[in-house]
Amino acid sequence: MTLADAAGMLLVFIARLITGAQGHWKGCPPMAEQRIYFANHQSHLDWVLIWAALPRDLRVGTRPIAARDYWTSTRFKQWLTTEVFNAVYVSRQRSEDQDPLEPLVAALQGGDSLVIFPEGTRNLKGEPQPFKSGLYHLAEMFPEVRLIPAWIDNVQRVMPKGEVVPVPILCTVTFGAPLALQPGEDKHAFLERARAAVVNLRPPAP
């Protein structure tokens, strides 16, 4: 077992210990097929929670999208995202000579599954922000890849902004029914439907 494998197992254990990391498969079963999981985005822990909620055999081929400037800012962050999570790095600063989707396209062409957060940035307001166009373009380019909506609940309370010690709180990830781009469906309609698919998975208020 490598150091990265051991670190991954430890992170899963810690995530489950602190949050429970419960995965609810309401619209589809966990399957070893190529998928794009897309979810609401509230915390830097979002990916860890989804990763811990996935069955072990699915984690190996499922890669998160990570902002290059943040996740390579220290040696530890870069090691964690590269060696443990096998993240796909993207640049938040747009460049005229590079398509921001290029790393995601390469990962999908290589047979990997992805976890993306179509809002683009973290949002603490409860309701997801409008989705950016990347999910639409990926759905257009890879119609054979299953699009799975997911709602992450409570994770923003585990690590409130400005805090460094996590708070033990039960968190869940609810996975919904696969979504597909319909023939002739325009970008705006698809992104609204995708966002609604995520919101509709939110557990009812107690």
What's the DSSP call for residue 190?
H
- Positive or negative, the CA dihedral 7, 13, 17, 22 is positive
* Position with higher pLDDT, 86 vs 160: 86
Q: pLDDT digits over 56-75, tens only?
A: 889 889 999 888 888 888 99
Looking at residue 113, its pLDDT comes to 97
Looking at residue 96, its pLDDT comes to 57
Looking at residue 105, its pLDDT comes to 96
Give mean pLDDT, residues 18-22: 67
Looking at residue 28, its pLDDT comes to 92
* Ranges 20-29, 70-79, 117-126, 153-162: which has the least confidence: 153-162
Looking at residue 8, its pLDDT comes to 82
Looking at residue 3, its pLDDT comes to 87
pLDDT, mean over the chain? 84
| Per-residue CA distances from 86 to 18, 64, 110, 156 (Å) | 23, 8, 13, 24
DSSP, collapsed to helix, strand or coil, labels residue 13 as helix
DSSP, collapsed to helix, strand or coil, labels residue 179 as strand
- CA 113 vs. chain centroid, Å, equals 10
pTM exceeds 0.85 for this model: yes
Give mean pLDDT, residues 22-32: 89
